[in-house]
Amino acid sequence: MTYGYSGKILKVDLSTGEIGIENLSEENMRKYMGGKGLVYHYLKDSVNKNTDPYSEENPLYFMTGLATGIPTGGTSRMIMGTKSPITQGFGISESGGFVGPELKKAGWDGIIVEGKSEKPVYLYIKDDKVQIKDASHLWGKGNGEVNDIIKEENKDKGIKLSQIGQGGENQVHYACVINDLKHACGRNGMGAVMGSKKLKAVAIKGTKGIKFKDKDKITEISKWYAKYQKDKPLSKGLYLYGTAAGVESLDKSGILPTRNFKDGSFEKAKEISGQTMADTILAERGGCFACPVRCKRVVEVNKEDIKVDPKFGGPEYETIGSMGSMCGIGNLDVIAKAHEMCNDLGLDTISTGVSISFAMECYERDIITKKETEGLELNFGNEEALLKLIKDISEKKGLGKILSKGVKKASEIFGGGSEEFAMQVKGQELPMHEPRGKIGVGLGYSVSPTGADHMQAAHDTMITEEGPMLDSVKTLGITKPADPKAYGKDKAEFYALNEKWWGFLNMIGMCDFIPAPRGSMPIDKFIELINASTGWDVTPEECMEVGERGITAARKVNYDLGVDESYEELPKRLYQPLENGALEGVSMDRDKFIEMKHYYYEHFGWDEKGYPKEETLQRLGL
| Binding letters toward ligand SF4, positions 38-57, x by CB under 6 A | --------------------
Beta carbon of residue 432, minimum distance to ligand SF4 (angstroms, whole number): 16
Selected from 121, 299, 407, 511, the binder of ligand SF4 by CB under 6 A is 511
Tell me the C-alpha to C-alpha distance, in Å, between residue 355 and each of 359, 410, 454: 6, 8, 17
Binding status of residue 225 toward ligand SF4 by CB under 6 A? no
* Side-chain half-sphere CA neighbours of 608 within 13 A: 1
- Residue 310: asked if its preceding bond is cis (omega within 30°), the reply is no
Rounded distance between C-alpha atoms, residue 252 and residue 159, angstroms: 44
| Binding letters toward ligand SF4, positions 462-501, x by CB under 6 A | ----------------------------------------
Beta carbon of residue 137, minimum distance to ligand SF4 (angstroms, whole number): 33
Q: Which one, 180 or 392, has the nearer CB to ligand SF4?
A: 180
Binding status of residue 159 toward ligand SF4 by CB under 6 A? no
Determine the residue type at 26.
E
Binding status of residue 288 toward ligand SF4 by CB under 6 A? yes
Q: Which one, 245 or 389, has the nearer CB to ligand SF4?
A: 245
Binding status of residue 516 toward ligand SF4 by CB under 6 A? no
User: Which listed range, 12-20, 288-296, 332-340, 364-372, lies at the site for ligand SF4 (CB under 6 A)?
Assistant: 288-296
User: Which listed range, 251-259, 292-300, 378-386, 421-429, lies at the site for ligand SF4 (CB under 6 A)?
Assistant: 292-300
User: Which listed range, 274-282, 373-381, 510-518, 586-594, lies at the site for ligand SF4 (CB under 6 A)?
Assistant: 510-518
Name residues contacting ligand SF4, limited to 236-275 (CB under 6 A).
238
Beta carbon of residue 509, minimum distance to ligand SF4 (angstroms, whole number): 11
Of 450, 471, 446, the C-alpha closest to 588 is 446
If 0-12 CB within 10 Å is exposed, 13-18 middle and 19+ buried, where does residue 112 land? Answer: buried
Rounded distance between C-alpha atoms, residue 426 and residue 449, angstroms: 9
Order of all β-strands in the sheet with 78-83? 19-23, 8-13, 110-114, 60-63, 78-83, 90-95
Beta carbon of residue 522, minimum distance to ligand SF4 (angstroms, whole number): 16
Of 265, 330, 325, the C-alpha closest to 584 is 265
Residue-by-residue DSSP string for 282-342? EEEEE--TT-SS--EEEE-EE-SS-EE-GGG----HHHIIIIIGGGT---HHHHHHHHHHH
Rounded distance between C-alpha atoms, residue 597 and residue 610, angstroms: 9
Phi, psi at residue 72, to the nearest 5°? -130, -35
Beta carbon of residue 517, minimum distance to ligand SF4 (angstroms, whole number): 14
Of 215, 170, 205, the C-alpha closest to 189 is 170
User: Which listed range, 257-265, 283-291, 338-346, 541-549, lies at the site for ligand SF4 (CB under 6 A)?
Assistant: 283-291
Q: Which one, 511 or 527, has the nearer CB to ligand SF4?
A: 511
3-class secondary-structure state, position 64? coil
* Side-chain half-sphere CA neighbours of 207 within 13 A: 8
Collect all residues with Cβ–Cβ distance below 8 Å to 78 and sequence separation of at least 6: 62, 63, 64, 68, 94, 95, 97, 99, 100, 103, 162, 179, 185, 509
Q: Which one, 85 or 286, has the nearer CB to ligand SF4?
A: 286
CA angle 436, 439, 443 (to 5 degrees): 120
Q: What share of the chain is helix, strand, coil (3-state, %, to 5)?
A: 45, 15, 45
Determine the residue type at 357.
S
Binding status of residue 296 toward ligand SF4 by CB under 6 A? yes
Binding status of residue 35 toward ligand SF4 by CB under 6 A? no
User: Which listed range, 130-138, 291-299, 342-350, 584-592, lies at the site for ligand SF4 (CB under 6 A)?
Assistant: 291-299
Beta carbon of residue 276, minimum distance to ligand SF4 (angstroms, whole number): 20
Q: Which one, 47 or 288, has the nearer CB to ligand SF4?
A: 288
Beta carbon of residue 511, minimum distance to ligand SF4 (angstroms, whole number): 3
Beta carbon of residue 482, minimum distance to ligand SF4 (angstroms, whole number): 24
Beta carbon of residue 295, minimum distance to ligand SF4 (angstroms, whole number): 3
Q: Which one, 513 or 606, has the nearer CB to ligand SF4?
A: 513
Provide the H-helix boundaries in 1-98: 26-32, 35-43
Beta carbon of residue 243, minimum distance to ligand SF4 (angstroms, whole number): 8
Q: Which H or E run contains 444? A: helix 439-447
Selected from 100, 168, 257, 287, the binder of ligand SF4 by CB under 6 A is 287
Selected from 204, 293, 482, 523, the binder of ligand SF4 by CB under 6 A is 293
Binding status of residue 74 toward ligand SF4 by CB under 6 A? yes
3-class secondary-structure state, position 457? coil
User: Which listed range, 167-175, 211-219, 506-514, 603-611, lies at the site for ligand SF4 (CB under 6 A)?
Assistant: 506-514
Q: Which one, 59 or 100, has the nearer CB to ligand SF4?
A: 100
Selected from 6, 64, 68, 76, the binder of ligand SF4 by CB under 6 A is 76
Three-state secondary structure readout of 116-181 = CCCCCEEEEEECCEEEEEECCCCCCCCHHHHHHHHHHHCCCCCCEEEECCHHHHCCCCCECEEECC
Tell me the C-alpha to C-alpha distance, in Å, between residue 484 and each of 438, 459, 602: 5, 8, 21
* Side-chain half-sphere CA neighbours of 579 within 13 A: 9
Size of the site for ligand SF4 (CB under 6 A): 15
Binding status of residue 297 toward ligand SF4 by CB under 6 A? no
Binding status of residue 69 toward ligand SF4 by CB under 6 A? no
Binding status of residue 291 toward ligand SF4 by CB under 6 A? yes
Q: Which one, 74 or 400, has the nearer CB to ligand SF4?
A: 74
* Side-chain half-sphere CA neighbours of 581 within 13 A: 30
The answer to whether the CB of 138 falls within 8 A of the CB of 303 is no
The answer to whether the CB of 510 falls within 8 A of the CB of 75 is yes
Beta carbon of residue 294, minimum distance to ligand SF4 (angstroms, whole number): 5
Binding status of residue 96 toward ligand SF4 by CB under 6 A? yes
Selected from 111, 210, 221, 295, the binder of ligand SF4 by CB under 6 A is 295
Of 330, 426, 339, the C-alpha closest to 381 is 330
3-class secondary-structure state, position 50? coil
Selected from 502, 513, 536, 559, the binder of ligand SF4 by CB under 6 A is 513
Beta carbon of residue 475, minimum distance to ligand SF4 (angstroms, whole number): 21
User: Which listed range, 70-78, 327-335, 398-406, 481-489, lies at the site for ligand SF4 (CB under 6 A)?
Assistant: 70-78
Binding residues vs ligand SF4 (CB under 6 A) = 73-74, 76, 96, 238, 287-288, 291, 293-296, 511, 513-514
